[in-house]
C-alpha cells in the first residue's frame, strides 16, 4: 500500500468501506444499443476533432500481435460475427472506446495498408496480402462489417459505469477508477492534474512515496482539487447546473469536478488559482511540517504510509493561508499538533473516509481552526 486510503481508487469490484445505503444511491444504467459499420466508425475517428476516441489514456497491456490482427481480418472475411464493443458517450457526443480498442485499431490500421496478413491457417492464400491487394468484394466485406455497440449514456453514474467497465474487462488488464476517469474526462482537468502532480514541491512534500504508476499521484491531486473547489463553493454540477453537493459518492463527485473544469475556458483564472494554492500548500508542508508530515502517528519503530484524507484536508488548510512570518508559522505548527491529537478528526481520516458524515466532520474541524485562528 502506497498510501492509506488507496482502496478508494481500486477497480469497482474491489471497492471497500462503502456505507451500505450509498453503494448505488442512483443505480441508473442507461445503455443504448447501436450498430455501425467499420467504415462509419473509421470516419468518426478521422474527423477533426475526432468523434470517436480510440486512444483514451488507459494502460491496457500489450498491443495485439500480428497473428491476432490477421485472425481478426480472417474472421470477418469468413463471416464470423465480432463481439460487442462498449463505449461511453461524453457530453459532446464523442464515443470513448472502453472495450474494443484493439479490434478497432486493427481494422483501421489494416484498411490504411499498415500491415499485411500473416500466419493464417484457414484462408492461407491471403497470407502476405494488404488491404489494397484484396478483391473489391473482400474490401467491402471488411468496410461494411456491422459492429454492435453498447453505448453508456447519461445519467449513468460514474460508480455504476466503472463497475460495468470492470466487469466487461475482467479478462484483461484491471483498471482502477482513476485510470478510467482520466480517460473519460480528458481536457483542462487532466492537463491541470498532470501539471500539479509533476511539481517538485508535491513530490517532495509526499516524500517521493506516491508512485505515478496507475495514476496514484493523480488521484491524490484530484482529491485536493475537488475538495478545495467544493469547500470554496465553486463547482457547478454539470447535470443540474446548480452547486455540486457531496453525497458520499466520491466517484461521481470527482468525475463531475473534472467535467466542470473541462467546461471552462483554458484561460479561466481558476486554473491559475488552483496552481498557486496547491503549490503554496506543498511548499508550506515542506518547510513547516515534521518529517513524515502527512503520515498519522504510529508505534515507535514503525512508519505508516501517507494518509490520503489527511493530505487532502490539511493541504486545503495550508492552501487557504495568506502571508508569512514567524507567528503564522508557529500557528500552523500548533494547528498541526492539535489535529493529530483530535480523536474526531483522526476517526474521519481512518473510518469510512468518503462517507458524507465523515467528510463533513473533517472539513468542519478544518474550517473551524481556520476561522478561530484567523489564518486566512
* Boundary (domain end) residue, out of 126, 155, 184: 155
Is residue 313 a contact partner of residue 306, using CB atoms and an 8 Å limit? no
Residues 242 and 146 in one domain: no
pTM of the prediction? 0.72
pLDDT for res 56? 65
* Boundary (domain end) residue, out of 101, 128, 155: 155
Split at pLDDT 50, 70, 90, the class of 62 is: very low
| Terminal alpha carbon distance of the chain | 34
Q: Please tell me the total count of domains within the chain.
A: 2
Residues 187 and 295 in one domain: yes
Segment among 21-30, 44-53, 127-136, 367-376 with least mean pLDDT? 21-30
pLDDT for res 21? 45
Rounded CA-CA distance 45/140 in Å is: 19
Q: Is residue 118 one of the residues assigned to a domain?
A: yes
Q: Is residue 25 one of the residues assigned to a domain?
A: no
Residues 144 and 235 in one domain: no
Residues 209 and 316 in one domain: yes
Residues 146 and 178 in one domain: no
Residues 69 and 205 in one domain: no
Mean pLDDT for 297-316 is: 90
Segment among 23-32, 99-108, 158-167 with least mean pLDDT? 23-32
pLDDT for res 16? 44
Residues 150 and 178 in one domain: no
pLDDT for res 28? 65
Residues 182 and 319 in one domain: yes
Q: Is residue 76 one of the residues assigned to a domain?
A: yes
Residues 110 and 151 in one domain: yes
Q: Show the domain range for 209.
A: 3-12+174-372
pLDDT for res 22? 47
Mean pLDDT for 26-34 is: 76
Average pLDDT of the chain, as a whole number? 87
Q: Is residue 273 one of the residues assigned to a domain?
A: yes
Residues 52 and 201 in one domain: no
Split at pLDDT 50, 70, 90, the class of 20 is: very low
pLDDT for res 269? 96
Split at pLDDT 50, 70, 90, the class of 164 is: confident
pLDDT for res 231? 96
Q: Is residue 201 one of the residues assigned to a domain?
A: yes
Question: Highest-confidence range of 94-103, 193-202, 330-339, by mean pLDDT?
Answer: 193-202
pLDDT for res 248? 81
pLDDT for res 11? 58
Write the CB contacts of 25 (distance below 8 Å, at least 6 apart in sequence).
247, 248, 249
Q: Is residue 164 one of the residues assigned to a domain?
A: no
Segment among 80-94, 114-128, 257-271, 308-322 with least mean pLDDT? 80-94
Q: Is residue 53 one of the residues assigned to a domain?
A: yes
pLDDT tens for each residue of 98-145: 788 889 999 999 999 999 999 998 999 999 999 999 999 999 999 999
Residues 222 and 317 in one domain: yes
pLDDT for res 325? 76
* Boundary (domain end) residue, out of 120, 155, 190: 155
Residues 8 and 34 in one domain: no
Q: Does the pLDDT value for residue 216 go beyond 80?
A: yes
Cis peptide before 321 (omega within 30 of 0): no
Amino acid at each position: 500500500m502506497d498510501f492509506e486510503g488507496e482502496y478508494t481508487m481500486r477497480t469497482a469490484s474491489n471497492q471497500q468501506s462503502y456505507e451500505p445505503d450509498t453503494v448505488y444511491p442512483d443505480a441508473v444504467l442507461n445503455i443504448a444499443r447501436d450498430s455501425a459499420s467499420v467504415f462509419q466508425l473509421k470516419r468518426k475517428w478521422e474527423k477533426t476533432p475526432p468523434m470517436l476516441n480510440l486512444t483514451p489514456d488507459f494502460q491496457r497491456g500489450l498491443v495485439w500481435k500480428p497473428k491476432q490482427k490477421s485472425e481478426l481480418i480472417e474472421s470477418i472475411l469468413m463471416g464470423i460475427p465480432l463481439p460487442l464493443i462498449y463505449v461511453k458517450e461524453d457530453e459532446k457526443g464523442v464515443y470513448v472506446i472502453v472495450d474494443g480498442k484493439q479490434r478497432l485499431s486493427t481494422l483501421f490500421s489494416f484498411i490504411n495498408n499498415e500491415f499485411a496478413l500473416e500466419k493464417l491457417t484457414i484462408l492461407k492464400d491471403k497470407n502476405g496480402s494488404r488491404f489494397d491487394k484484396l478483391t473489391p468484394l473482400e474490401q467491402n466485406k471488411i468496410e461494411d462489417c456491422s459492429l454492435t455497440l453498447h453505448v453508456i449514456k447519461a445519467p449513468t453514474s460514474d460508480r455504476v459505469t466503472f463497475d460495468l467497465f470492470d466487469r466487461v474487462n475482467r479478462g484483461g488488464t484491471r483498471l482502477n477508477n482513476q485510470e478510467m476517469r482520466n480517460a473519460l474526462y480528458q481536457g483542462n482537468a487532466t492537463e491541470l492534474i498532470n501539471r500539479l502532480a509533476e511539481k517538485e514541491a508535491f513530490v517532495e512534500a509526499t516524500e517521493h512515496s506516491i508512485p505515478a504508476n496507475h495514476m496514484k499521484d493523480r488521484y491524490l491531486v484530484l482529491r485536493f482539487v475537488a475538495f478545495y473547489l467544493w469547500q470554496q463553493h465553486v463547482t457547478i454540477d454539470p447535470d443540474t447546473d446548480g452547486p455540486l453537493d457531496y453525497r458520499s459518492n466520491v466517484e461521481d463527485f470527482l468525475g463531475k469536478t473534472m467535467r466542470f473544469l473541462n467546461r471552462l475556458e483554458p484561460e479561466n483564472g481558476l486554473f491559475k488559482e488552483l496552481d498557486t494554492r496547491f503549490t503554496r500548500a506543498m511548499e508550506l508542508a515542506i518547510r513547516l511540517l515534521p518529517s513524515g508530515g502527512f503520515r498519522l502517528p504510529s508505534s515507535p519503530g514503525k512508519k505508516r504510509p501517507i494518509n490520503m484524507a489527511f493530505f487532502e484536508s490539511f493541504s486545503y488548510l495550508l492552501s487557504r493561508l495568506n502571508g508569512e512570518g514567524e507567528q503564522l508559522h508557529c500557528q500552523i505548527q500548533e494547528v498541526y499538533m492539535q489535529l493529530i491529537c483530535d480523536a474526531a478528526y483522526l476517526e474521519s481520516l481512518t473510518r469510512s473516509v468518503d462517507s458524507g458524515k465523515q467528510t463533513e466532520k473533517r472539513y468542519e474541524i478544518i474550517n473551524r481552526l481556520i476561522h478561530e485562528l484567523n489564518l486566512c
